[in-house]
């Protein structure tokens, strides 16, 4: 077990802060039960844990780093990123081994995984980078499979995928990828849909909700929140350009957003 030996004379930073202890264990149990959380919620949980165990509260980033150092052995990691849909900071417990989709096999049958893969494909390859799938279209897919799912079974399965945070039902009723899928299945998505999946030029994470360059052959995509940070306030209507090809950038040329 990798318990860090502390150097002598480090009065300023007691080693309890950098050593994996009861607070980390309980936080891991919490993350195993939640899988994905808004970072603000995760910090509230961390505070609650410190109160309960009468432990000093460390910087949250440092706390997460201590956990990651230990759990990487078992191919797990806490990954901090930004929610594409509402720009809030989130934290997720992810498998770092390449067999992500196989991990689903712990709670889904092979046929159910087959259906989920088909839904992923339809979402990712949707026309005009809509990254969404209408609910009727999703339900129609079940009966097409071999062996077929009845319409009712298909609806139940879709509900389960939503409850387990693999899919999300947008307010217009369309199915989109839940952030859990985007984070946990990123290698699968990148490898399977090389042409459709783009990484944000700013943060290098997968982008399914954001803005794109108006030049059709240019591959630049930006998350909504990354674009907001990159382009200065458009107070005087000054022209903004694509950081790569220089084409005039239209902020309303979006992908993965609700279409009129």
Partner 1 sequence: MSSRARRQRILRDEDDEDDEYTQPSTSGTQRESKRIRQEDSSYNELDSQLTAEQTSQDLERKVNDTVRYALACEHRKQVIRKDDIARKVLTDRSRSFPAIFDKTQAKLRHLFGMELTELVSKEKSNPAKRAAANGKVVLSKTYVLRNILPEEQNDPQIIHHTDDEYQSTGLLYVILSLIFVNEQSMNDELLMSHLNRLRIPEESETFGDRARMLDGFVKQGYLQRQKLNAEVAQSDQPVFQYSWGPRAKAEVPEQNMVGLISSVYHVQGSELDRLQDSIYKAASIDT
Interface residues with partner 1 (CB under 8 A) are 1, 20, 22, 25-26, 28-30, 32-34, 45, 48-49, 52-53, 65, 68, 70-75, 77, 79, 96-98, 103, 106-107, 163, 199, 201, 203-204
CB of 33 to partner 1, least distance (A): 4
CB of 246 to partner 1, least distance (A): 17
Q: Which is nearer to partner 1, 98 or 246 (CB)?
A: 98
Contacts of the segment 59-66: beta carbons below 8 A, 24+ positions apart: 62/17, 62/18, 63/23, 63/24, 63/27, 64/91, 66/18, 66/19, 66/20, 66/24
Query: 149 near 143, Cβ under 8 Å?
Result: yes
Residue 63 — φ and ψ, nearest 5°?
Answer: -60, -45
Chain length of the chain: 260
CB of 171 to partner 1, least distance (A): 22
CB of 86 to partner 1, least distance (A): 20
C-alpha to C-alpha distance for 53 and 32, rounded to whole angstroms: 19
Q: Which is nearer to partner 1, 95 or 254 (CB)?
A: 95
H helix intervals, the chain? 22-34, 39-53, 60-71, 100-103, 110-124, 135-144, 151-163, 179-184, 186-192, 224-230
Q: Which is nearer to partner 1, 45 or 145 (CB)?
A: 45
Q: Which is nearer to partner 1, 70 or 141 (CB)?
A: 70
**Cα–Cα distances in Å, from 12 out to 5, 57, 103, 160?**
16, 15, 42, 49
Q: Which is nearer to partner 1, 78 or 126 (CB)?
A: 78
CB of 73 to partner 1, least distance (A): 5
CB of 169 to partner 1, least distance (A): 17
CB of 61 to partner 1, least distance (A): 11
Q: Which is nearer to partner 1, 45 or 139 (CB)?
A: 45
Query: 187 near 167, Cβ under 8 Å?
Result: no
Q: Which is nearer to partner 1, 103 or 247 (CB)?
A: 103
């Amino acid at each position: 077990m990798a318990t860090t030996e502390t150097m002598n004379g480090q009065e300023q930073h007691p080693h309890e802060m950098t050593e994996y202890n009861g607070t980390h264990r309980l936080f891991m149990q919490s993350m195993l039960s939640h899988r994905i959380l808004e970072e603000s919620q995760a910090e509230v949980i961390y505070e609650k844990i410190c109160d309960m165990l009468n432990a000093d509260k460390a910087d949250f980033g440092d706390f997460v780093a201590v956990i990651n150092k230990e759990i990487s052995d078992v191919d797990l990691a806490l990954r901090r990123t930004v929610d594409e849909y509402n720009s809030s900071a989130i934290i997720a417990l992810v498998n770092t081994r390449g067999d992500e989709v196989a991990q689903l096999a712990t709670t889904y049958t092979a046929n159910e995984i087959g259906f989920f893969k088909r839904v992923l494909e339809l979402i990712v390859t949707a026309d005009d980078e809509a990254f969404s799938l209408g609910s009727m279209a999703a339900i129609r897919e079940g009966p097409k499979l071999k062996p077929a799912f009845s319409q009712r079974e298909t609806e139940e399965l879709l509900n389960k995928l939503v409850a387990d945070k693999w899919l999300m039902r947008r307010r217009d009723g369309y199915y989109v990828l839940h952030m859990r899928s985007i984070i946990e299945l990123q290698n699968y998505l990148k490898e399977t849909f090389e042409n459709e999946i783009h990484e944000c030029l700013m943060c290098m994470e997968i982008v399914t909700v954001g803005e794109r360059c108006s030049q059709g052959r240019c591959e630049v995509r930006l998350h909504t929140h990354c674009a907001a940070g990159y382009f200065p306030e458009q107070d005087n209507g000054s022209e903004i350009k694509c950081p790569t090809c220089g084409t005039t950038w239209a902020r309303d040329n979006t992908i993965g957003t609700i279409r009129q």
